[in-house]
Structure 1
């Protein structure tokens, strides 16, 4: 496959993945959304369908990695050239950022209404009511809508958070590598896309509770960057202190999965 195939496949596929995945997070977060408080099952299935859609789009041109952890696992397994890895990962990050912007545009009114909610209105100086920049007042680690963009732990414990993401990503990447559909070196086949989407749903339901299961560095990093850049008053912090975990831990899990595959299945 050509470099342009890799770029456009991964860029567009990852953008769609983040658009639909971030979209379900937005749908259950905002009060003025018909899916408000739909719950974790909706999140798990929403992200599974997001993977399904993005991967079907990208499976032809690029093999539908859509995830640096998957790219790393396939490179260790031997199905992807190491020289192509930077292009895959760069395209995925760019696509994830664009997908996050599209979520903001699709829910533009809900973003404004959410951040103007009385819950986020505090007395201004001299007793006047007015919106206050929460980030400057309280310096929160995570703002009131960061969950639309990125993941965060329910219990902030670095060792546990890292291990949860490592284990969940290990399951994802090993499931992909053992499908027997990667002999061409192009990544997922048609059936593999469906299997992988169901694996993502299963991981979300079983292992997603502690951290929100990033299992994909760019799925978390790209939207977090966009959150930090969007001109949203009262948006709060982007929790950069946690941001390294959903980037590094999935790569560790993927490397472990690639090693186990070569040792036990190759």
Structure 2
């Protein structure tokens, strides 16, 4: 597949991922929304199904949607290193666009919300207890679980034409959704489980730019943790995969 096609499919898939993911958080957080007060489980299930929708759409490119996944697949020799920047670019552009679309869908609710300084969490993650080393560890562990599952999942195949195929042979991308929901329910409490650098950084940039009145800080001082942590987690998963007798 050409670099241009990879970029298009990754952009489209990641945009859908973030549109539905940020959308479910907006639905729960914003007061004049039917999902207001729906809670953490609704958010986790919404993100899980967002992954399913985005990955299904981006299937032609291998549906990475996540720089940590791309890095893990490259280290595992399932993706050509020359294609990594193209995947990264599509993932970041798609994440930004998806966040903008989520804001547009909820524009009226943003305009009538009482606590606009605290709307950053609709777009990106943050720790419940700020402590840099342990916040980083949480993101590393969560992403490690995701990427090692992708690499070892039943039905995973070697790259064909530079595009790896992975996923449960029976459930397909729905299986990835269940893994994401599981990570959120079990490991998402401390940091909001970014487990994806593009998922956090793209919407964080969008939040900083969008015309949301009285909005709070984008918290740039924390922003490197949901980027570095997932990349480290993805790399560690790939190194373990290479060391296993598979």
Category of TM-score, reference length = shorter chain: over 0.9
State whether residues 178 and 265 of structure 1, in contact with CA within 8 Å, keep that contact through their aligned partners in structure 2. no
Task: Indicate the residue corresponding to 2:157 in structure 1.
Answer: 182
Distance (whole Å) between structure 2 residues aligned to residue 255 and residue 176 of structure 1 = 13
Distance (whole Å) between structure 1 residues aligned to residue 157 and residue 203 of structure 2 = 29
Q: Does 1:255 align with 2:229?
A: no
With normalisation by structure 2, the TM-score equals: 0.94
Change (3 A) 1:5 1:188: farther
State whether residues 65 and 187 of structure 1, in contact with CA within 8 Å, keep that contact through their aligned partners in structure 2. no
With normalisation by structure 1, the TM-score equals: 0.88
Q: Does 1:196 align with 2:176?
A: yes
Change (3 A) 1:151 1:217: same
Distance (whole Å) between structure 2 residues aligned to residue 88 and residue 265 of structure 1 = 28
Distance (whole Å) between structure 2 residues aligned to residue 219 and residue 104 of structure 1 = 15
Query: Any idea what SS the aligned residue of 1:186 has?
Result: strand
Q: Judge which range, 207-216 or 175-184, deviates more.
A: 175-184
Q: Does 1:109 align with 2:87?
A: no
Distance (whole Å) between structure 2 residues aligned to residue 222 and residue 56 of structure 1 = 21
Encode CA deviations 1:203-231: one digit per residue, 9 max, x unaligned: 00000000000000000000000100112
Q: Does 1:40 align with 2:40?
A: yes
State whether residues 70 and 254 of structure 1, in contact with CA within 8 Å, keep that contact through their aligned partners in structure 2. yes
Encode CA deviations 1:169-202: one digit per residue, 9 max, x unaligned: 0000000000141323424357441211110000
Query: Any idea what SS the aligned residue of 2:156 has?
Result: coil
Distance (whole Å) between structure 2 residues aligned to residue 8 and residue 65 of structure 1 = 12
Task: Indicate the residue corresponding to 2:225 in structure 1.
Answer: 245
Task: Indicate the residue corresponding to 1:69 in structure 2.
Answer: 68
Encode CA deviations 1:23-46: one digit per residue, 9 max, x unaligned: 000000011011001011111110
Query: Any idea what SS the aligned residue of 2:38 has?
Result: coil
Find the partner of 1:219 among 192, 199, 222.
199
Of structures 1 and 2, the larger Rg is shown by: 1
Aligned residues: 240
State whether residues 99 and 123 of structure 2, in contact with CA within 8 Å, keep that contact through their aligned partners in structure 1. yes
Task: Indicate the residue corresponding to 1:135 in structure 2.
Answer: none
Structure 2 unaligned residues grouped into runs of 5+: none
State whether residues 65 and 188 of structure 1, in contact with CA within 8 Å, keep that contact through their aligned partners in structure 2. no
Q: CA deviation at 1:265?
A: 4.1
Encode CA deviations 1:34-80: one digit per residue, 9 max, x unaligned: 10010111111100000000000011x20000000000010011110
